[in-house]
Amino acid sequence: MNTQLLLIQVFNGLVNGAFYALLSLGLAVIFGMLRIVNFMHGALYMLGAFAAFALGQLLGLGFWPSLILAPLLVGLLGVVLERGLLSRLYGLEPSYNLLLTFGLTLLTQDLVKQVMLSRFAVSSAPYSPPEVLSGVVNLGFVVFPKYRLFVIALSLVVCLVTWFVIEKTRVGAIIRASTENPVVTRAFGINVSGWVTGVFAVGAALAGLAGVLAAPIYSVEPYMGAELIITTFAVVVIGGMGSILGSVVTGFAVGVLAAVGAAVYPPIANTLVFILMALVLLVRPSGLFGLPEGAR
């Protein structure tokens, strides 16, 4: 394989990396703050894509309004889920919320499938990028879809903003305090459960955003999140559970690695991330950017 093709694949990998980063960022935020292993994250991603499709079909909304509205809707669903179901399991073993979110995933997938088939008469829905972003642009070393460049750029911005808010602002400080020591934080007059709900909603909205971004690239179908979520979990583990920076950096890195892998030796593309995970866990059991247990 020549260096140009390699360079092209590195670049191409950033697109998938963007999706991994957005999704694992949400997972990391939710895990870091709430200690919930949210198995439903893939379904929330799918719901984001489906919402964009449905908003277009039912209300005639284009890509741009959906890019705002769909994540908001998914975030709102996040509030309902956290308040209505997940909050009842706090204090119980983590396997309870794992089972709950897994069950909800199966339920959501089948529900969306039913709706798609009965209401829209398709099992996989078409969705096009907005006019201004359709077509390709010649970057000199490769001809690349404009829309994919937009995905890389927007994801980078969103990841940076999220990292900044959590690590560098007062809001972030409150969130971190609420989860480190809820009792003391409450004593300062801070509404801890309100913040927790907010964090879950933001994590869900991030997944929803990734879904809307994915709709013009992948086919919108009920199981589109199922496959992705497994890789995303691996990304979170490699990056270090709960580490914001770790999930973003690892997300992009894994995307690039998988793309290069697919070009060099296709059969390994999907396995590469798990090989990497095994290697990282051998050397650093808490992940690349994770703090060792007890240091928290």
Partner 1 sequence: MNKTRTAILALTALLLAPAASAQSLSDGSIKVGVLTDLSGVYSELSGQGSVKAAQMAAEDFMKANRAYAGKVSVIGVDHQNKADVAGNKAAEMIDRQNVDMLVDMPTSSAALAATEVARQKKTVAMVVTGATTALTNEKCNKYTFHYAYDNYMLANGTGTAVTKRGGSSWYIIYPNYAFGQDLNRQMVSAVQENGGKLAAPSDATPFPNTDFSSYLLKAQSVRPKIFGTMQAGNDLVNVVKQYNEFGLKKQGIGLGIGLLFETDVAALGQDAFAGAIATVPWFWNFDARSRQWAGRFEKTFGKKPTWAQAGVYSATLQYLNAVARARSDNSDAVVRALEGHSFDDFFARNATIRPQDHRVLLDVQVVQVKGKSESKEAGDIYKRLNTIPAAKAFMPLSENKCRM
One-letter amino acid of 137: V
CB of 257 to partner 1, least distance (A): 12
Token pair 């199981």: residue: 223
Neighbours of 90 (CB within 10 A): 15
Instruction: Please say whether the beta carbons of 233 and 273 come within 8 A.
Output: no
Distance CA(32)–CA(200), nearest Å, equals 11
- Identify which of 74, 216, 56, 208 has the alpha carbon closest to the alpha carbon of residue 149: 216
Instruction: State the DSSP code for 124.
Output: S
Contact call for residue 23 and partner 1 (CB under 8 A):
no
Question: At 143, is the secondary structure helix, strand, or coil?
Answer: strand
Of 72, 76, 122, 245, which one interacts with partner 1 (CB under 8 A)? 122
Contact call for residue 218 and partner 1 (CB under 8 A):
yes
Tokens for 255, please give them: 């995307």
* Closer to partner 1 by Cβ: residue 267 or 294: 267
Contact call for residue 15 and partner 1 (CB under 8 A):
yes
Of 59, 132, 143, 161, which one interacts with partner 1 (CB under 8 A)? 143
One-letter amino acid of 37: V
Tokens for 21, please give them: 């980063």
Contact call for residue 257 and partner 1 (CB under 8 A):
no
Given the rule CB under 8 A, which of 90-98, 136-144, 178-186, 190-198 is the region that contacts partner 1?
136-144
Instruction: Please say whether the beta carbons of 107 and 196 come within 8 A.
Output: no
Contact call for residue 228 and partner 1 (CB under 8 A):
yes
Of 132, 153, 164, 227, which one interacts with partner 1 (CB under 8 A)? 227
Angle between helices 244-264 and 224-239 (to 10 degrees): 120
Contact call for residue 270 and partner 1 (CB under 8 A):
yes
Contact call for residue 12 and partner 1 (CB under 8 A):
yes
Of 89, 177, 190, 217, which one interacts with partner 1 (CB under 8 A)? 217
Q: Which residues bind partner 1 (CB under 8 A)?
A: 4-5, 8-9, 12, 15-16, 117, 121-126, 129, 135-136, 142-145, 147-148, 216-219, 221, 224, 227-228, 259, 262-263, 266-267, 269-270
